[in-house]
Amino acid sequence: MKLNTDMLINRITDEIWEIPVSEKSGMLVPARIYATETVLRSMDSGVFDQVTNVACLPGIQRYALCMPDGHWGYGFPIGGVAAFDVRNGVISPGGVGYDINCGMRLIRTDLTLDDVQPRLERLMTELFRRVPAGVGAGGFVRLNRPSFEEVMTKGARWCVEEGYGWHRDLAKIEEQGCIGGADPSKVTDRALARGINQLGTLGSGNHYLEVQVVSNGRVFDPDAAAALGITGHDQIVVMVHCGSRGFGHQVASDYLNVFEKAMRRYGVSVKDQQLACAPFRSEEGQDYFAAMNCAANTAFANRQVITHQIREAFAAVFGQSAEELGMELIYDVAHNIAKVERYAEGDLLVHRKGSTRAFGPGHPDLPEPFRKIGQPVICGGSMETGSYLLVGTDRAVRDTFGSTMHGSGRTMSRAQAKKSVRGEQLQQQMKQRGIVVKAVSMSGLAEEAGFAYKNISEVVETVDRAGITKKVAELRPIGNIKG
């Protein structure tokens, strides 16, 4: 089968497609893409080129993978997954992304659409005031170098200790919001300067804070939903999508420069310089891993401070405390990260770039609340179409290194989207459909129009039918804040 590429693509199942190693010189493993035929045909040619480039990297195991939300990215395709032997494999910033630990957080409430609708405009104004958004936006948390280094090593735990959250939040965050092995001495002064004032901020691009409703009849797994605090019945939830901001971006930039030189030293060659890498066990590889973990912990802390501000905003608008409003954290999960995990082959370094961890029921790395149902997976759609809550499966652990999709995935460039609609026009159209949008930039708003993204429901159906994630509930937007 041939699509937007000259490469041969074999159908393995209705949702799995494989490019054999014979299709590109240097491929060490096949490349597998999870997609329906319709979704596969919508993928840009860069996906096929990039995922096969990844399949050429030293130490890669089994397959180079791309999820159905896959589209062209830096080095790896966004939606890319690759696992490397920790002894002879590599680590690549292009397999993590510039926004280290960009991720999703979902907060439940006891409020219903009837409760929120009359105060929606006021609520979105209050959220927009309390959660800074936009390029270069600074937060209200004031840090000096020692306290910022604490954030790098403690992550969300630092926030809870400082009063920006509840201790029970930590059990509902991947790695309890603190990844070990972070070393601030491996972070440059320039990265520190870019990140020190950004805690509690959304940033720009496709990052957002969204108020959503779980409509009646859109709960697909009532038992899993109940275990996660989802009742349906027009229940209000809040989703946050953001990461490590300029701090993570600078860490990535710094080490890409380091790795370009290191590759010559170690005799490593790549198909694309954007895949610059170093042996994981090398000094350079370990330094990047330690710096990356600093940025990952800062991203967990960023979303934790934002959660504190969201709770404060709801309390101000509804005249009740966040606890009285039932504003418990459902989960927080990364989708731009590299982590050492145990699989049949032993310890592997799993790169997820625009891909979400999706461990199944009983997995030893999951905290007790999720042992019976599997790890929550939060997949954001466009601001016009809605999002999904899912859970991981044993099959994901067996077949995709415990990984699944992270969102809907773009089909149109930001420049194309801006040519197709004006931000003010889009904002008005969404208001007429009952979605209140607050945005720092109308140009940035136009970039995120729903038509620039794949159909989230079809992408979710792919991973559900493939058995690597199970649908729990659909979440419909009623209010959105964009940078």
Q: Residues annotated in the binding site for Mn(2+), as ranges? A: 99, 207, 241, 335
How much of the chain is in helix, strand and coil states, percent to nearest 5? Answer: 40, 25, 35
Q: Residues annotated in the binding site, as ranges? A: 99, 206-210, 241, 335-336, 380-383, 387, 406-409, 482
* Tens-digit pLDDT profile for residues 431-476: 888 889 898 888 888 888 878 777 899 999 999 999 999 999 999 9
Specify the range with the lowest mean pLDDT, choosing from 71-85, 131-145, 329-343. 131-145
In the chain, where the domains are located: 10-411+453-482
In terms of DSSP bridges, do strands 31-34 and 64-71 run parallel, antiparallel, or are they unpaired? parallel
Residue 30, pLDDT above cutoff 90: yes
pLDDT (0 to 100) of residue 2: 52
In terms of DSSP bridges, do strands 356-357 and 403-404 run parallel, antiparallel, or are they unpaired? antiparallel
Q: Determine the Cα–Cα distance for residues 158 and 101; give it in Å rounded to an integer.
A: 17
Q: How confident is the model at residue 429 (pLDDT cuts 50, 70, 90)?
A: confident
* Tens-digit pLDDT profile for residues 273-318: 999 999 999 999 999 999 999 999 999 999 999 999 999 999 999 9
pTM: 0.96
Architecture of domain 10-411+453-482: Alpha-Beta Complex (3.90)
* Tens-digit pLDDT profile for residues 104-125: 999 999 999 999 999 999 999 9
User: Would you say 214 and 237 are in contact if contact means Cβ atoms under 8 Å apart?
Assistant: yes
pLDDT (0 to 100) of residue 5: 86
DSSP 160-185: HHTTSS-GGGGGGBGGGG--TT--GG
pLDDT over 90, % of the chain: 83
Q: Determine the Cα–Cα distance for residues 317 and 311; give it in Å rounded to an integer.
A: 10
* Tens-digit pLDDT profile for residues 48-57: 999 999 999 9
pLDDT (0 to 100) of residue 131: 95
pLDDT (0 to 100) of residue 224: 97
Average pLDDT on 172-196 reads 97
Three-state DSSP class for residue 252: helix
Average pLDDT on 357-384 reads 93
Token representation of residue 395: 């099959």
User: Would you say 105 and 244 are in contact if contact means Cβ atoms under 8 Å apart?
Assistant: no
Average pLDDT on 68-81 reads 96
Q: Determine the Cα–Cα distance for residues 365 and 239; give it in Å rounded to an integer.
A: 24
Indicate if 406 belongs to the active site: yes
Q: Residues annotated in the binding site for GMP, as ranges? A: 206-210, 335-336, 380-383, 387, 406-409, 482
What's the distance, Cα to Cα, between the start and end of the chain in Å? 41
User: Would you say 109 and 238 are in contact if contact means Cβ atoms under 8 Å apart?
Assistant: yes
Residue 29 carries which DSSP code?
S
